[in-house]
Structure 1
Amino acid sequence: MKEYDLIVLGGGTGNIVASEATEEGLNVALVERDRLGGTCLNRGCNPSKRLIHSANVAETVRNADRFGVDASIDDVAFEDIVNGVAETTAKTAEAKAERARENDRLTFYQAEGRFVDEHTVEVSGDDGTGGKRISADRIVFAGGSRPLIPDSIDGTDRVNFLTSAEALTGDIGGLPDRLVVVGGGYIAVEMSHFFSQMGSDVTIVGHGEMLVDREDADIAQQVTDAYREEHDLRLGYTVTEMADDGGAKRVTAESESGEEIDVSGDELLVATGRQPNSDLWNVSAAGIETDEKGFVETDEYLRTSVDGVWAIGDIAGNYMFKHSGDKEAEYVVENAVRGNEREVTYPGMAHAIFGSPEIGSLGKTEGEIADDVEYEVGTFAYDDQALGAALDNKGGFAKAIVDEDGEILGVHVVGPEASALIHEVSTAVAAGADATTVAETIHVHPALSEVVQGAFRRVTDVSAEMSP
């Protein structure tokens, strides 16, 4: 049995740890069943944002007449767009793999891996059967996640359907004329925007009363209203069955009151969330404790219930973002590789949803604030700011939630460039700034950042309205 100083399971954020560990002089084994780069590079945020950029360009052209520009779309090269992104992604992943293979201190096992005991992992052979066993006193578990397909939907074993994995890797075929999207979260919102702007008629079937209902309620309502203008929304329905009706694919869904609907399309996309890959890695054999959803439980140092095993990224479930996973990789390098004890923190943690309109968010939603906490809310519309009013902002606004001492509890932006605008507040929160500091900071006029400043000015009563 081959022994290493460190085994890293998972080649997404885990690849960062493996590389840093070799720089520290450790002999490292890296186990990844798929391509290096993990979900984000290969089947997630990177390819999706490349595709969504094409959708944004198409949307801009379609709406050009609003700004006095006569423009039209003659054709969308859907397959070229999708295949081009897939090829770029594959080249990036292979470059990572090549660098891994050239690292003298790193052994890259591009194969299935399963725990045998607390510190032993069996790596499958080329034929998929059980192969060699490797061990280490230290293991970093970065095993990732995969699309969640609810067991409650009958027919998933009989009907071919898409998930984000197929939609983002080029394994989709041609553009469907009619697409039914099952789900109402961020993946459903982003993919619906992409396919719609490529030319599909999109129907979204979601169980919530609003899209992205984990966001602040005001933000979720604004997104829902905007999407209702572009898509056929069937909200408040839970999908119970899917079927193939001789070419057309159908989903049956039911409301809480028992009302049943059938929706058909040329293709189905199931976007009902993600689940951790802990079962695929056979964590039970190692005695690693997980919660009821399968996420590996970790302490403030990212240690699991097994001594010498740490967990980061989607598998740990602290946050399911690439940027949080990368931050956790920095901490686990300190703790697992260098032998320190640094408590993980997520200062100014923000996230974004790249639909149309965009969302940028950090901190608590208004619904998450405890009843005994006194707070104020300030909102500022894009239409109240010079550049914002010139854009197709779809009723966008910024919302700041601040407690009675000026602490920033939450900030939520919906509209153009929201994913960038939120970072002003993320930096401020990480630096310990209060709401008045953001409100009083001089902002470039007429940059969109004034939309965020406007929300803070209103919640803190700093000065009068901004100049137009």
Structure 2
Amino acid sequence: MDEYDIIVVGGGSGSQVATAAAERGLEAAVIERGPLGGACITRGCIPSKALIHRADVLEEIRRAPEFGITAELEDVDYGEITSSIHDTVYEKAENQESSLEESESLTLYRGEGRFVDERTLEVDSNDRDADSVEIRGETVVLAVGGRPMVPPIDGLEDVDFLTSDDALFLDDQPDSLVIVGGGYIGAELGYFFGALGTEVTMIGRSETLVPREDDDVSEVVTDSLERYCDIYAGYEAESVEERHAGVGITAEPSDGDDSDVGGEAPIELEADALLLATGRRPNTDTLSLEATGVETDDSEYVVVDDRLETTCDDVWALGDIVGEQPFKHAADYETQIVTANVLDDAEREVDYGAMPHAIFTSPQVASVGRTEGELEEVGTEYESATVPFDAAPLGMILEADDGFVKVLARPDGEILGCHIVGPQASTLIQEVVVAMESGSGTVEDVTDPVHVHPALSEVVYAAFDELSSSEYSTAPDWSDVGR
């Protein structure tokens, strides 16, 4: 049996822990059955955002006449879009695999690993002709990620359906598509397919799409996606069946009665294809954790302490199987914490207070900190300010009519949250993150620095300036210009 100083189960963000260990001369191993780089590279963030970029380009062309530019959209080569993105992301995964294989003091096992005991793992090789092997580690890091959740819908076992893993690389664009799920994955894919011309219908259980966002954000996203999709918010898919033209879906009000939220009667839908975007579940069930002292919660996420150590000594966990923040950048942050604690005994603890996230719909969404609803639920005293994008000259020029920046802060100026809807929201949020993480975390950390004029960052400044205690405001009001 081969023995290692550290074994990482999962070839995504967690593999960086093994790489760091190998660079220090420790013997490290990585176990991964699929493409290297984790879901983000080949089944998530990168290919989905590449698709959405194509949708954004299409929307720019369609809007060109609004700006006095004559442009014609002749054709969309859907197969070329998906194949080129596929080749790009899988090339990146192959390069990452080569990098790991070339690393000294690091061994890559291509297969699925499961525990035999708290320190020993059996690896079933991807090569069917190869025998399984057992390896042992002084330290083990669990980073096996997650996979799409398949809900219990009657008849689902008898019909073909897509998940977010499948929908990214279709050879042919469906003429019509029903998406079950109103979270950020469903919203992004609904925008993509709708912008490319697919007839999209979305079914979401909550009253609005992306219900975990601030209420004002959810309302804008729901309204904006109605430009691309037919939306049935407050409904839940109950049954599906195969039909000659594709698949039939029956959905009922999600609250089970005739309230205004869901409507008065079930709905019957039909489409060429069905896409399930109902969330993700952790891959903990692949690890045989019953052979260890590693505990999981009721949702099968691994239980960890503030240092990301599990209930088993020197077994650590990060990423989607922890379930705290299901984002690639969160997994990278957790990787830094685990690396410091495992290699340097740093006793670092995670702090998600300034963990941002974004949704790449049109318009974009970006958020950090608490929502207004969360603050009201726990009785936190706060002040808020919301300004439209045309509070900044460039926002007015871009005609970002449905965009806004919303700031939530304590009366003493401590930033509690910020929510941005509009062009480049995923970039604009970063100065707020830096203020919350690196500065004193107050409104003045955003308003004191000089902002470029004219740039979209001025709309962030304008929102924070509304709550600033400074008597020397320099934020002009552009909202009525040209009206």
Is the structural similarity TM-score above 0.5?
yes
In the TM superposition, what whole-angstrom CA distance separates every residue of 1:109-151 from its partner, at most 9, and x where no partner exists? 1101111221111100322897111111200110100001112
* 1:298 maps to 2:294: no
- Which residues of structure 1 form unaligned runs of 5+? none
1:366-385 equivalences under 5 Å are 366-369=372-375, 370-385=377-392
Q: 2:315 aligns with which of 309, 312, 324?
A: 309
Q: CA–CA distance in 2 between the matches of 1:173 and 1:304?
A: 42
1:63-82 equivalences under 5 Å are 63-82=63-82
Structure-2-length-normalised TM-score = 0.93
1:226–1:291 distance in 2 versus 1, CA, 3 Å: same
Aligned to 1:261: 267
Q: 2:182 aligns with which of 181, 184, 187?
A: 184
Q: Which moved more, 1:178-187 or 1:245-254?
A: 245-254
Aligned to 2:240: 242
Give the count of matched residue pairs: 465
Shift of 1:348: 2.4
Shift of 1:465: 5.0
In the TM superposition, what whole-angstrom CA distance separates every residue of 1:315-374 from its partner, at most 9, and x where no partner exists? 111211111111111111111233332222346211100111100100000000145322
Percent of aligned positions that are identical? 44
Aligned to 1:197: 195
Q: CA–CA distance in 1 between the matches of 2:251 and 2:353?
A: 41
Are the counterparts in 1 of residues 82 and 171 from structure 2 also a CA contact under 8 Å?
Answer: no
Aligned to 2:448: 440
In the TM superposition, what whole-angstrom CA distance separates every residue of 1:367-398 from its partner, at most 9, and x where no partner exists? 00145322111011012321101214241100
- Which residues of structure 2 form unaligned runs of 5+? 259-264, 479-483
Residue identity opposite 1:312 in structure 2? L
Could you say what secondary structure the match of 1:304 adopts? coil
Q: 1:419 aligns with which of 422, 426, 429?
A: 426
Q: CA–CA distance in 2 between the matches of 1:26 and 1:13?
A: 19
Q: Which moved more, 1:258-267 or 1:139-148?
A: 258-267
Shift of 1:411: 0.2
1:460–1:120 distance in 2 versus 1, CA, 3 Å: same
* 1:400 maps to 2:407: yes
Q: CA–CA distance in 1 between the matches of 2:476 and 2:354?
A: 26
Aligned to 1:110: 110
Are the counterparts in 2 of residues 163 and 270 from structure 1 also a CA contact under 8 Å?
Answer: yes
In the TM superposition, what whole-angstrom CA distance separates every residue of 1:41-90 from its partner, at most 9, and x where no partner exists? 11010111111111100011111111111112110111101110011111
1:126-275 equivalences under 5 Å are 126-127=127-128, 131-151=132-152, 153-168=153-168, 170=169, 172-255=170-253, 256=255, 257=257, 259-275=265-281
Aligned to 2:457: 449
Q: CA–CA distance in 2 between the matches of 1:317 and 1:253?
A: 29
Q: CA–CA distance in 2 between the matches of 1:437 and 1:345?
A: 20
Residue identity opposite 1:141 in structure 2? L
Residue identity opposite 2:175 in structure 1? D
Q: Which moved more, 1:311-320 or 1:387-396?
A: 387-396
Could you say what secondary structure the match of 1:300 adopts? coil
Shift of 1:467: 4.9
Could you say what secondary structure the match of 2:14 adopts? helix
In the TM superposition, what whole-angstrom CA distance separates every residue of 1:239-278 from its partner, at most 9, and x where no partner exists? 1112211232121111022631111111111101111000
Are the counterparts in 1 of residues 195 and 228 from structure 2 also a CA contact under 8 Å?
Answer: no
Are the counterparts in 2 of residues 377 and 399 from structure 1 also a CA contact under 8 Å?
Answer: yes
Structure-1-length-normalised TM-score = 0.96
Q: 1:336 aligns with which of 333, 337, 342?
A: 342
